[in-house]
Structure 1
Amino acid sequence: MKTRKEIKEEYKQMKFSMGVFQVKNRSNNKVFIDNSVDIASKWNRHKTELKFGNHKNRELQNDWNEKGEDNFDLEILSELKQDDKKVINYAKELKLLQQMLIDEMNIPEELRY
């Protein structure tokens, strides 16, 4: 049986998919764009908040309540690869990447949550 220390070390060595993603409403093409160092966990958090009706974005929450989960898609817009040789503030890099993608995509304000 592995020790607690070994389990913690294994977890630290795990590589998660990190990047910028969007939650897209298929009925009106509105998007909610976010970033994370662990996309799967962040998406699960958003879904949980939406299912329980307490998502911070009220407009997204209202559409989710009205249209249902099946009307929304998760789309990864860009991924970052982890560089083990450098010390990088990935949270900061992802925030910059998110803003660059928003600017590049030129999404009209009325199509953003």
Structure 2
Amino acid sequence: MNRKALARAYKESRRPMGVFCVRNLETGEALIGRSVDLPSILNRERLTLRMGGHPNRRLQQDWNALGADAFVIEVLDTLAWPENTPDFNPSDDLVLLEAMWRERMQPNGQGSYATRAITARA
């Protein structure tokens, strides 16, 4: 395959979607979010934290103080693309999946960096 064909195939491929987490291993605090493109959001979270420009200031301060080794950035759950449904809109399913993980990891709302849902779009 030539370079253009590879780029087109990549752009047309369906990316894994689901819920992710940036967790502070020392304090247990976590930022939980959802995305229709998990690989991209994980890269963006790592990059913005490394560059010192994460929108969540408290998370960025802890990252700066404790270092990257004190954090784990991971996929918590994925949502499968339904077969033969090109008009599928995963928004409601992702919101529900994220809410389930928030309740599971932070049942009383404590231990969370997020003051709002973090959503990434493709």
TM score, norm. by length of structure 1: 0.83
SS state of the match for residue 27, structure 1?
Answer: coil
After superposition, where does 1:82-101 map in structure 2 within 5 Å? Answer: 82-86=81-85, 87-101=87-101
- The CA deviation at 1:104 is 3.9
User: 1:53-104: per-residue Cα shift (whole Å, max 9, x none)?
Assistant: 1111001000000001111112322111112312211244212321232134
Q: Which residue of 2 aligns with 1:112?
A: 112
Query: Which of the two has greater helix per residue?
Result: 1
After superposition, where does 1:1-113 map in structure 2 within 5 Å? Answer: 2=2, 4=4, 6-86=5-85, 87-113=87-113
- The CA deviation at 1:3 is 7.1
Which stretch shifts more, 102-111 or 70-79? 102-111
Query: For the aligned residues, what is the CA RMSD?
Result: 2.1
CA 40–3 in structure 1, closer or farther in 2 if over 3 Å, else same: closer
Q: 5+ unaligned residues in a row in structure 1: which ranges?
A: none
CA contact (8 A) 1:20 1:79 kept: yes
Q: Give percent identity, aligned residues only.
A: 35
Aligned length: 112
Tell me the distance in 2 between the aligned counterparts of 1:66 and 1:40: 26
